[in-house]
Amino acid sequence: MIVVTGGAGFIGSNVVRELNNRGHDDVVVVDDMTDGRKFVNLVGCNLADYFDKDDFLGRLKSGALGKIDAIFHQGACAVTTEWNGRYVLETNYRYSVDVLDFCLENAVPLIYASSAAVYGASTTFNENDPSAERPLNVYGYSKLLFDQHVRRRSAEALAPIVGLRYFNVYGPGEAHKGSMASVALHLHEQVGATGEARLFEGSGGYAAGEQRRDFVYVGDVAAVNLWFYEQRRVSGVFNVGTGASATFNDVANAVIAWHGKGAIRYIPFPAELTSRYQSFTEADIGALRAAGYTAPFRDVRAGVKAYLDAFGQHA
């Protein structure tokens, strides 16, 4: 069986769909369905079983689940504004260490979600440069802490252990995330409701709407996950982005183009975000390419169109 933690969530459900698309129906999803709205992400998926995240670890450690072919560990508290450090570190770090312990002890491949939030205040985004790891929130720190733990224990691994530092992911399956959903979704809803796409005024030396992020389509992210699973020969921590940043204006214009109407309105930059906001991200994907991944990534215009075209199917 193949286990996907966070499998009812945004990226996790897209990994489940891609596994199904490639003929795998032996997929076990692990998640916390306290927010039952996430069920829509699994409609149409073929699952072998489902376990609550609090039940899963006990079953995993006892061997009750039987033979596991691989674990895609996508589950996490992904709320970047959450400041309950005990909760975030227990959920994102301690739980991940328990999963890693099992994989190391049983030679099970592990592909896990890290985050570009580990770079925080940095202006360079290279996985092999510790000086670039400058998280701005406890979420980013929890991801960095686990990356560091994995690196310290890499010599123990008898099967691949892969960490994927996701940049700004957008696409189908994120509607349940509320304020944590991508700017593409928020702008789509704004333009549909009011005809206006609202962006922040200038900040961090950038003009209005010209702050830049590496926006990566979730379908491309799922493809990277499946590539590492199928290769079974590569370990390490890798950036997952397009390798080219785009402005928030670019995203807004792509959304407006899809709607065939709308205009951008700039709103004041929130004072509380001044010291905690990434005005620029751009993945260095040299390590990913060197590992052998050659597939292209969609740019914002193509990705937003694919997203909004699919929106009615599973938002």
Question: What digits encode the pLDDT tens for the residues 52-108?
Answer: 999 999 999 999 999 999 999 999 998 888 999 999 999 999 999 999 999 999 999
Q: Determine the 3-state secondary structure of 262 from DSSP.
A: coil
Decide if pLDDT at 312 tops 80. no
**Higher-confidence residue: 271 or 266?**
266
Q: Facing residues of 49 across strands? A: 28
Q: pLDDT at position 5, please?
A: 98
Q: Which of 282, 7, 34 is nearest to 168 (CA)?
A: 282
Q: Which of 20-34, 57-71, 170-184, 266-280 has the weakest average pLDDT?
A: 266-280
Q: Measure the CA–CA gap between 14 and 120, rounded to whole angstroms.
A: 26
C-beta of residue 267 within 8 angstroms of C-beta of residue 200: yes
Q: Measure the CA–CA gap between 42 and 49, rounded to whole angstroms.
A: 12
Decide if pLDDT at 275 tops 80. no
Average pLDDT over residues 257-276: 90
Q: pLDDT at position 315, please?
A: 45
Distances (CA, A) of 201 to 25, 149, 214: 47, 39, 19
Residue found under tokens 């985050």: 115
Residue found under tokens 């509607």: 175
- What's the pLDDT tens digit per position in 177-191? 888 899 999 999 999
Q: Measure the CA–CA gap between 26 and 149, rounded to whole angstroms.
A: 30
Q: Which of 204, 190, 184 is nearest to 305 (CA)?
A: 184
Q: pLDDT at position 212, please?
A: 94
* Spatial CB neighbours of 186, under 8 Å, sequence gap ≥ 6: none
Average pLDDT over residues 241-256: 98
- What's the pLDDT tens digit per position in 208-247? 999 999 999 999 999 999 999 999 999 999 999 999 999 9
C-beta of residue 269 within 8 angstroms of C-beta of residue 209: no
User: If you count them, how many residues does the chain have?
Assistant: 315
Active-site positions read 139, 177
Q: Facing residues of 203 across strands? A: 206
Q: pLDDT at position 314, please?
A: 46
Average pLDDT over residues 23-46: 95
The verdict on pTM exceeding 0.75 is yes
Q: What is the DSSP code string of 9-46?
A: SHHHHHHHHHHHHTT---EEEEE-TTSGGGGGGGTT--
Q: How confident is the model at residue 271 (pLDDT cuts 50, 70, 90)?
A: confident
Enumerate domains of the chain plus CATH numbers: 2-170+216-243+282-297 (3.40.50.720)
Distances (CA, A) of 296 to 11, 161, 287: 19, 23, 15
How far apart are the two ends of the chain, measured CA to CA in Å? Answer: 27
- What's the pLDDT tens digit per position in 119-158? 998 999 999 999 999 999 999 999 999 999 999 999 999 9
Decide if pLDDT at 203 tops 70. yes
Structure tokens at 12: 């996790």
Average pLDDT over residues 34-46: 94
Q: How do beta strands 212-213 and 215-217 pair?
A: unpaired
Cα-only R_g, the chain: 19
Share of the chain above pLDDT 90, in %: 88
